[in-house]
Amino acid sequence: MASSTLPAFALFPIAAWRDQLLPDEWVACLNAWLALINSHLSLSDSEILTISAKDSTLQAFLASFTRETALGGVDILGSSPSAKRLLKNCLALITRLLQSSSPPNELAQWEFLADLSRVYGKKKAEALLGSLSAASKGYLDSSLAVLKKFLIRNLDAGINGGDLKGIEERLERVNDLIRVSPSVAEFFLAGSDFVDGLVSCYKITNPPLRKVLIATTYLGLVGLAEGQKVSALTDQLYSLKAAADAHKAGPLNVNDSLVAELVTSTPLIQRVQRKVEESDSTSSRMKSVLVELSAFKKPGGGVSKPKRLIRRKVDKGKGLAELDEAQAQQEIHIHRMSQISQVQDLFPELGSGFISKLLDEYDNNTEEAVAHLLDASLPPHLQSANRSEDLSHHAPTTVTTTKTTLVRRSSLNPRPTPPQLASDTEDFDLLTADVSRLHIGKRPGDADTLLADRTKAPNKAAILSALAAFDSDDDERDDTYDADDVGGTVDTATAEEVLPEGTEAALFRAWTANPDVFARDNETRRGKERTRLREETGMTDEALEGWAVMLGRNAALKRRLQARYGEFTGEQAELGRTSWRAGADEGEEGDGEGSDGAAGTGSGQAGRGGGPGRGRGRGRGGRGRGRGGAATGPPVDSELARRRKEANKGSRANHNRRDQRARKMARGGLLVETGNH
């Protein structure tokens, strides 16, 4: 409830509500809050305990004020004098409440203090956290204990039931508190459970979560170094080294570990060495573990300072070429963009204009700029600057040379160059070209003069712009069969969103079994079949009904789905064997068309009798109705021998030649001995 002597506070509005307020209305709101804050500040210490500490609307306003300001930055308050005084007086009132013997519980939680640390920076927040009363410290330790227990449990679980989104949100928020308070860093790194959880959770391929894990580990270790906890810091560094060795011995990539990324993308080793040397407590054990951790740095990675640009000299025997100032200016822009991208890899929320100012402040030293960002130890003019400022709004600076002064462009975006060739052609077509541009034969001047003239040289910025606008997927289109070349109807309509694998099959089978499942009425939508179909496909009722409507309208789609997912039992037409088999045609041999004629394979008449036909030569016997004539063909045993020979050719050698000769001689009337020789 609000106090009986002071008016109640209104909550600090969210961004959607703030955008609807006019500037005058916003200033009036700031003045009203400022007046109420000043009224509470004017109370005595005893009245603070009885009035301010028990005013729930005051606590809700302070919580919403710090939260929204932490999310949007101090620029959301505006540039009016009331905004600056409100920011200052809110900190003064929060300090009095947290230093009292009976502080509000809501203001002593880690969430509120983390938002306060982001809004007011390291210097002011560290002073406030160092002056908390015993009751406030008790509330803070209790909330941190609950947070640490939640983080350890979910970090160990990982993808097997762990709340990865909750881990990322809480770690990103508590990192502001760890950065300003060495005692909070010491609390989280007490024991090995928290660090082991960070190392194990880093195995999950989730880039945003990995960045938060790296930042938490770095801030915790630097906090131990700032708090002069050398023994605890050494133990944690040794545990990280052991984890890196275990990862290196495993099947995964040696560079895909938390330790390798930590020592590569952050200045951890340099910061720890500097902090330990300042405390005069350097030990051989600390030095050795730092050297061993340096061995895990990725080759060619990190935020190291880019190499100095060296102008290549063209040795043509005519002396040094003069410096092209415009080209040198473009080189400066290119490498400034490279430095900005390195910083944005670690701080994606920062604008390119703010990072450019930061690099100007620290002499283009990317590593030093990142270290000051992590420590929140920026100069006042950068601390209050707009962190989301784009480079196009950055004030132009000047680059002086020995001959002239060049003005740096306000934007790194390359400007398009006019098509010179097109205008030249047009001038010549219209007969309006200058006579000085005409020449007979070769152009005047030698090759060196033409190459030294940079007035018509292509702009490097235009080349970079063309490369940036180039779509590497354009060359993947196969234009072999364009609509104009095919000669038939080509469906050029844009394809609908591709359904997940298996969804289309489930939809078509359900439609084939019962099209009424896709009816557009409430009874069908509440039915069991529709519920099962929604769970199986993951689609809404509107999407299911729309799919059925489109299927009914598109006959080609229906045929395609029928061919793909229709009923098919796998049956095929049975094909007979065409290869020859022994004994397959025994019943056919000698089968004549008549019943009286006998089969004959020798030469001579077959089926002689009273019939009308006779047969001669090899083949089947003729037809006859009278007395059938006897066929003069080879005996049956020779036919069987022939078949036996053909059947046994593939399995063994033909060793019965002697027997065959004996049979042949016997048929001729000769007596041949067939015994064994």
SS3 103: coil
- The pLDDT confidence band at residue 603, using thresholds 50, 70 and 90, is very low
Residue 629 lies in a domain: no
Judge whether residue 570 has pLDDT over 70.
no
Tens digit of each residue's pLDDT (9 = 90 or more) over 91-129 = 999 999 999 999 999 999 999 999 999 999 999 999 999
Measured N-to-C along each axis, helices 503-513 and 555-565 cross at an angle, to the nearest 10 degrees, of 100
Q: Which of 185-199, 399-413, 475-489, 637-651 is least confident?
A: 399-413
Residues 232 and 269 in one domain: yes
Residue 626: pLDDT over 80 = no
> For residues 438 and 382, which has the higher predicted lDDT (pLDDT)?
382
Q: Given a cut of 60, is residue 582 above it in pLDDT?
A: yes
Instruction: Tell me: pLDDT of 444 over 90.
Output: no
Domain assignment present for 311: no
Q: Which two tokens stand for residue 522?
A: 């409430």
- Domain boundaries, position 39: 15-108
Q: Are residues 402 and 422 in the same domain?
A: no
Contact between 525 and 541 (Cβ < 8 Å): yes
Q: How confident is the model at residue 501 (pLDDT cuts 50, 70, 90)?
A: low
Alpha helices per DSSP H over 42-181: 45-47, 56-72, 81-98, 110-130, 134-157, 164-180
Domain-embedded: residue 628: no
pLDDT at 163 over 50: yes
The pLDDT of residue 613 is 43
Please state, rounded to an integer, the average pLDDT across all residues of the chain: 76
Structural domain count, the chain = 6
Residue 98 confidence (pLDDT): 94
By the 10 Å C-beta count (0-12 exposed, 13-18 middle, 19+ buried), 612 is classed as exposed
For 45-59, 257-271, 310-324, which range has the lowest pLDDT when averaged over its residues? 310-324
Q: Residue 99 burial (CB < 10 Å; 0-12/13-18/19+)?
A: middle
Burial class (CB in 10 A: 0-12, 13-18, 19+), 87: middle
Of 90, 108, 126, the residue that ends a domain is 108
Q: Please choose, from the candidates 150, 164, 253, the residue with its C-alpha nearest in 3D space to the C-alpha of residue 201.
A: 164
The verdict on 179 and 267 lying in the same domain is: yes
Cα-based distances in Å from 170 to 152, 173, 209, 271, 603: 12, 5, 11, 25, 106
Measured between alpha carbons, how far is 117 from 178 in angstroms, rounded to an integer?
9
pLDDT at 339: 84
Ramachandran angles phi, psi of 576, nearest 5°: -75, 160
Model confidence at 625: pLDDT above 50: no
Residues 289 and 333 in one domain: no
At residue 425, the 3 state secondary structure works out as: helix
**Contact of 394 with 357, CB cutoff 8 Å:** yes
Give the pair of three-digit tokens for residue 39: 């009224």
| CA 460 – CA 135 distance, rounded (Å) | 64
Residue 378: which CATH number? Answer: 1.10.8.10
Rounded to whole angstroms, the Cα distance separating 490 from 322 reads 59
Name the least confident of 59-63, 479-483, 540-544: 479-483
Same domain, 189 and 269: yes
Are 520 and 661 within one domain? no
**Backbone phi and psi for residue 584, each to the nearest 5 degrees, phi listed first:** -75, -30
Q: Are 602 and 633 a contacting pair, CB within 8 Å?
A: yes
| pLDDT higher than threshold 60 for residue 424 | no
In this structure, what token pair is assigned to residue 237?
Answer: 């560094």
Mean pLDDT: which of 272-281, 531-540, 643-652 is highest? 531-540
Query: What integer pLDDT is reported at residue 170 of this predicted model?
Result: 93
Q: At residue 611, does pLDDT exceed 80?
A: no
Average of per-residue pLDDT across 18-39: 92
Residue type, 267: P
**Residue 395 pLDDT greater than 70, yes or no:** no
Confirm whether 87 is domain-assigned.
yes
Contact of 394 with 356, CB cutoff 8 Å? yes
Does residue 488 fall inside a structural domain?
no
In a domain, 151, yes or no: yes
Q: Let me know whether 152 and 285 are in one domain.
A: yes
Average pLDDT over residues 623-632: 46
Q: What is the pLDDT of residues 337-394, one digit of tens each?
A: 888 888 888 888 888 888 888 888 888 888 888 888 887 788 888 888 888 888 764 4
Distance of CA 632 to the CA centre of its chain: 90
pLDDT > 70? residue 491: no
How far apart (Å, rounded) are the C-alpha atoms in residues 630 and 145?
117
Query: Quick one: pLDDT at residue 306?
Result: 57
289 and 152 in a common domain: yes
Q: Among positive and negative, which fits the CA dihedral 110, 115, 116, 118? A: positive
CB atoms within 10 A of CB 171: 21
Among 158-172, 242-256, 518-532, 545-559, which stretch is predicted with the lowest mean pLDDT?
Answer: 242-256
165 with 239, same domain: the answer is yes
Six token digits for residue 495: 């394809």
Whether 630 is in a domain gets the answer: no
Q: pLDDT tens, 44-88?
A: 989 998 999 899 999 999 999 999 999 999 999 988 999 999 999
207/346 Cα distance (integer angstroms): 11
Pick the most confident of 183-187, 454-458, 667-671.
Answer: 183-187
pLDDT at residue 455 above 80? no
Give CA–CA dist 534/269, Å, rounded. Answer: 54
Residue with tokens 């949007």: 72
What single letter denotes the amino acid at residue 188?
F
Q: What is the mean pLDDT of residues 308-316?
A: 66
Residue type at 551? Answer: L
Residue 524, pLDDT above cutoff 60: yes
Are residues 358 and 398 both part of a single domain? Answer: yes
Q: Give the pLDDT confidence score for residue 387 in this predicted structure.
A: 83
Q: Which range has the worst mean pLDDT, 119-123, 353-357, 498-502, 541-545?
A: 498-502
Domain-located, residue 663: yes
Say how many CA atoms lie within 13 Å of 240 toward its Cβ.
33
Q: From CA 615, how far away is CA 623, in angstroms rounded? A: 8
Backbone angles phi, psi at 149, to 5 degrees: -65, -40
Residues 86, 159 within the same domain: no
Q: How far apart are CA 77 and CA 70, in angstroms?
A: 11
Q: Answer yes or no: do 273 and 164 share one domain.
A: yes
DSSP 502-541: THHHHHHHHHHH-GGGG--SHHHHTSHHHHHHHHHH---H
